[in-house]
Structures are given as C-alpha cells and as structure tokens.
Amino acid sequence: MWKVLIADDEPKIRRGLRNLVDWPGMGMEVAGEAEDGEMALEQARLLRPDIVLVDICMPFVNGLQFIEQLKAVAVDCVVIVITGHDEFSYAQQALKLRVFDYLLKPVAKDQLIAVLEQAGQEASRSRSQHKYLNWASRETQKNLPLLRERFYNDWVQGKLPSGQLAEQLDFLEIVLPEQAGMLLLKVVGACQREALPRAWDKEMLLFAVQNVLMDLWPADRDKMIFRDGRDAIVAICPLTGLAEWYQWSEQVQQTLERSLNQLVVVCQQPLTDWGESVAAVYQRLTAELNKRLNCTPVVLISQKFIDTYYYKEDLSLQDVAKAVQISPAYLSRLLKQETGISFIDYLTGVRVQKAIQLMNDPAVKLYEVAELVGYSNQHYFSTAFKKVLGVSPAEYRKRGIHA
C-alpha cells in the first residue's frame, strides 16, 4: 500500500482530493494531510510517504521550498504538483526540482487517476532500485577487502585505466597519505641453518605475516597491505620520516623472524608521487627481491647477519663465517658468486645505505653518522661513501639528495 501525503493550505482542496479517488482500490492510502509547508515537512519525516500531492502557494514554507527540502527527508518520494498557478516560471522551477508531474487546478478525476497510476509505477521502480542499491552497497562492503586487494595489484602492475585512480580510491574508501614508501617482503626459509623448519602451510604463513604487519601498522592509517600473486607481501606505508620508516621495517622484519623462526627478505623504497611512480617502484623492488631470492640460504643468512651488525667497526668476514658455521674462504667465494660483489663491498653498501637514512635528519652530524655505521674515522667514511655514490657525504647532504 503506497502512502500518500496531501499538502494544500485550502481544506476544501484537501477534502476534494481525498474524496475524488478510490485510494484503496489503487493500492494507496492517504496517510497524512498538511495545511502549510512546515507541517508538510514534519508529516514527511514521520510518515515517509511514497507519493506527495503538493500545492505551490502555502504559508511559512511554499511548495517549491518544501519539495527542495523533502529530498533530504524522503529521497525516493514521487512528487506531483497540483496548483492554480499557470505561470511558466513555476513550472520551470518544478521541473528543475524533478517533480513527477505538474497539474493545474481544477484537476479532472480521470486525469488525477491516470497520473497516480503512473506515480505508483514510478514508486515501484524506485523501491526496487533502492533495494538493489542497498543490496549492492552491502555486497560491496562485504567484499571490500577483496576488491581493494585486486585494485592494489592492478595499481602496482600498471594495469589501471588512465585517469581512474582518484575515482577508484574514492569508491574503495582508500585515503592516501601525503608521503609514502613501498615495502616488499617475502619469507624464504628457516632463520638458522641447524633449525628444523616448522611445516608451515603457505596460506597460514602469509596470513601470519599480514597479521604482524597489521599489528605494527601506524595508528589511524589505511592498511594498504596485500599479496602480489608471487607469495610476496606488498605494503604501501605512510611516511613521516625516512629514518623512522626504515626503523619500522626493521622492527617488522625482526618481529616476523622471531615469531615465525623464518628468514625474511625486505626490499623498500620511498614513493616520489602517486602517479606512475607506484608501478615503477614496484618493478624495481620486485627485481631487487628476485635477485636476492636467487641466493642460497647460507648467503641470505650471511647478508642478514651483516645487515644486523654493520655498525660494528671490526665486523669481519671471519665473524660472519663463524655465525653461519662455514669457512671464511667458502663464504667469500659464495658471496662473490651469488651477489657479484665481495664481502667488504657488500658491507660498505649496507653502511652507506644506513648512513643515507641517518643523514636525512639534519640534527645528526656527519661524524656521528660515521660512528653509527661502523667508521671511527670520518675520512675513511667519506672515502667509502664517495666510492659507492660518487659524491662525498657533505656534498650529498648539501644537494638535498634523498634515499
């Protein structure tokens, strides 16, 4: 039964409209009446009518003002204007407000019945559409994590149609931070050579990794964490400072390795913008990750040891070989074969990258940076830095270069 509201300041007109039609026979009921626009709005809030018959000239709030405000109260309501004003400007305003029909008084019975029948059909279509939209909205919310994961994968692989980024972000309710970095992470095996690896199910392992990332994620930020189809986890992280970000990724890596007893490889890079940079950075990090994954477990564990203890001034090949329980000569040969560089070159590269992170904080002096990454002599640090990047630490900082 469709609910009808009649709004007209003349009691005779309201009575006439009520008595002119066999409402129940049309599947309708006159649920309420109002003699002015304010009362009509109040009735609309209470009754939620499906169809409204409204006059234009009413006190306090006129018919056109009422129709405009009605959209916020009953968005799907079918509005029929019945008025004694045959002015084009009124009709024009009514059309702009998308009224269903515009009838002039006095209204013939047959004409009103015909319009009401059409209004009932429109109300039925509107209700069906509303139900569908509500269903679609619920389904979208239910499947939002899956939709986001698909979107993220298309985004990093450069498959998004041109110019649709903002639209899809809005649809998926994703708020991007002003600055961000991308992190690729993959679990590759047991942390220690002698450890008996737990028989992890792949899905359980990836689920555990994502949960750790969720727990350690900065508060009040969208969690852009997803799988890339190659069993790697991708995280697009909010970035407040490079040093803090690298420290956070180290915390993630250490927490995962401690809780899972699995070796974790992490590659990361800041994003320069939200356009094509995302796909380009993902490609670079994927290439870097694949390069590292081509190494044997003993080399990965050796690299992990160096990445952890790079700050020790006297860190040597012998220390690393002892930790992984192979001879220094064999380790040296493996490092050269699998990475293309020597132990000292790898150590220097790690120290320079750590130095870059520290140098983004202008409060840290260069001699302090040198000491923090394992060089007691600033001149030696400067020589090593220039060998890797082609500029001295002072020149690097002066140019404002960022990692």
Taking the C-alpha atoms of residue 362 and residue 357, their distance in angstroms, rounded to an integer, is 11
pLDDT digits (tens, 9 = 90+) for 173-231: 888 888 888 999 988 866 554 444 555 677 888 888 888 888 888 776 667 899 988 88
Mean pLDDT, rounded, for 359-367: 85
Counted residue by residue, the chain has a size of: 403
Strand-strand pairing, 78-83 and 101-104: parallel
Model confidence over 72-112: pLDDT tens digits?
787 788 999 888 776 656 666 776 777 888 888 888 899 99
Confidence of residue 400 (pLDDT cuts 50, 70, 90): low
Please state, in angstroms and rounded to a whole number, the distance separating the CA atoms of residues 262 and 331: 21
**What are the chain's domains?**
2-141 (3.40.50.2300), 147-293 (3.30.70.270), 295-403 (1.10.10.60)
Measuring CA to CA, which residue among 108, 53, 51, 107 is closest to residue 78? Answer: 51
Residue given tokens 């990258």 in the structure block? 353
Q: What is the spatial distance between Cα 341 and Cα 339, in angstroms, rounded to a whole number?
A: 5
Cα–Cα distance measured from residue 153 to residue 290, given in angstroms and rounded to the nearest whole number: 18
Helix (H, G, I), strand (E, B) or coil at 398: helix
pLDDT at residue number 179: 83
Band of pLDDT at residue 402, cut at 50, 70 and 90: very low
